[in-house]
Amino acid sequence: MKKIFFIIQTIFLFGVVTKAQDDVYPTPAQKGTFYIVNATVHVGNGTVINSGTIKVTDGKIAQVGANISASGDIIDAKGKQVYPGLILPESDLGLKEISNAVRGSNDYQELGEWNPNVQSAVAYNTDSKIINSLKSNGIVLTNVAPAGSLLA
């Protein structure tokens, strides 16, 4: 009886596993233009546009502003906060430059037993070369935090 149950269970699991990733394909490229209107738009440089409009053409943000005329496909975002870009919720951006190769460029983990006064604002490297490449790839906001065992 145990062997029969094991065989049935194995066949069932094998069937589920082989079908699990059957139809995972990239979505087709977005074509055309649509507008997100009446939103509170956070541009990413500290500017906030109330009742703003975002124009998206062929999957890329074409315009962001307050005086953009919208026609065609319109998404009303009244009362919503919109960030035209990606948000990186946890990062050591500006704290670590060359992975683990050069210790002097890595300030993402404090040394010592217990360091409750660690501040990433003190160690943040504003001249980091990685920041500009992330900006050009759509990252507009990030939460920079050091790593650690007791205090992260």
CA distance readout (Å), 76 to 60, 70, 130:
18, 11, 35
Q: pLDDT tens for the chain, 152 residues: list them.
A: 566 666 666 665 555 555 555 566 777 888 999 999 999 998 877 889 999 999 999 988 889 988 899 888 999 999 999 887 778 887 777 777 666 565 555 555 555 566 566 666 666 777 777 777 777 777 877 887 766 655 54
Tokens representing 122 are 């003190």
Domains along the chain with CATH numbers: 33-84 (2.30.40.10), 88-144 (no CATH)
β-bridge pairing 139-144 and 60-65: unpaired
